[in-house]
Structure 1
């Protein structure tokens, strides 16, 4: 797609920024889905984008659009997860070409529990502290930067029965592969540990000289 397309919805007023983003991403990311001629492909893309922009769920987003959540989930089961990672890589590359990620940045590593209310044996579900009526959650970690007041997630990885150091390594590897330079690493309280410090100190000198650990003390997170 032509670079100028990034600004093709400029006539939408500022209060419509979310609609502007929705229209742009709907046009652009649809090519990463594989539907094999399915009739509902446009509906699936609409639901996924709405859920992403609202930080919501497929079922609720489908209902808002008067669509069937089960149909959307059926299509998503046959998608290749690596294709969605490629979406992220291409977006980051485009932002770098525009100068948005050219300078060394502060990178935040965060732990997330999305509470789960279904079968506790489901893949990707882990036991956690009781919250909002459940002891189970989809658990994952993210690496993100703050640009012009907006958080941009660069990497994500699931957390299921593995040491904290393992998923920190995965996130930093993903960020490194994107070519993003890091000047400061921020971890919440759950990540502040001797093992983490030792790992960071064991990295190559170029990385150790540009990274530090900040103990933010965000309540309710664990390592």
Structure 2
């Protein structure tokens, strides 16, 4: 088979196929007396496996998997896949924790939060200032510092996050669980936008999980 024969199946350029071989994604090809590459069905299966692995595990991990597989280190390739599956499971657990936490949240009395210093905010929440500092170390709140006094200044978003954290702590949630939720709240721009993205987030995880199934079949075909 010529490079163009492999490239045509996947809509790639012949240079891309040569680059994949040079990167170790495909096993080394034999050469004709004139120096032209000669590919086989083994290379075709390797390329199919790589193309399937990219949406399942990402380009970097897919490359590492195929490099290991193509040099005969099947156990190393499988270990990389195991790590990727473990990350998908962790992402699913985070999503489930966010969904449970949102169900447990009570509506905030006033969404128009104001900036505050540590003392007044602690009194408002009925907690000690040391608790706010502990939450800061855990990533729950990220106050800035007053340039003149060095005091912590909690922005309106920090106050919102502190109030959410306080509700969730009373509900028995652990700091790392709350931190994961608040990261998502910040990325979404608030609680309501986050609720609207959860379904899409779950759909992406499902899509990735199914891509992993297809990639596993293609890689098994190549390893066999």
For normalisation by structure 2, the TM-score amounts to 0.22
Larger RCO of the pair (alpha carbons < 8 Å, separation 6+):
2
Bigger radius of gyration, 1 or 2?
Answer: 2
For normalisation by structure 1, the TM-score amounts to 0.22
User: Which structure has greater helix proportion?
Assistant: 2
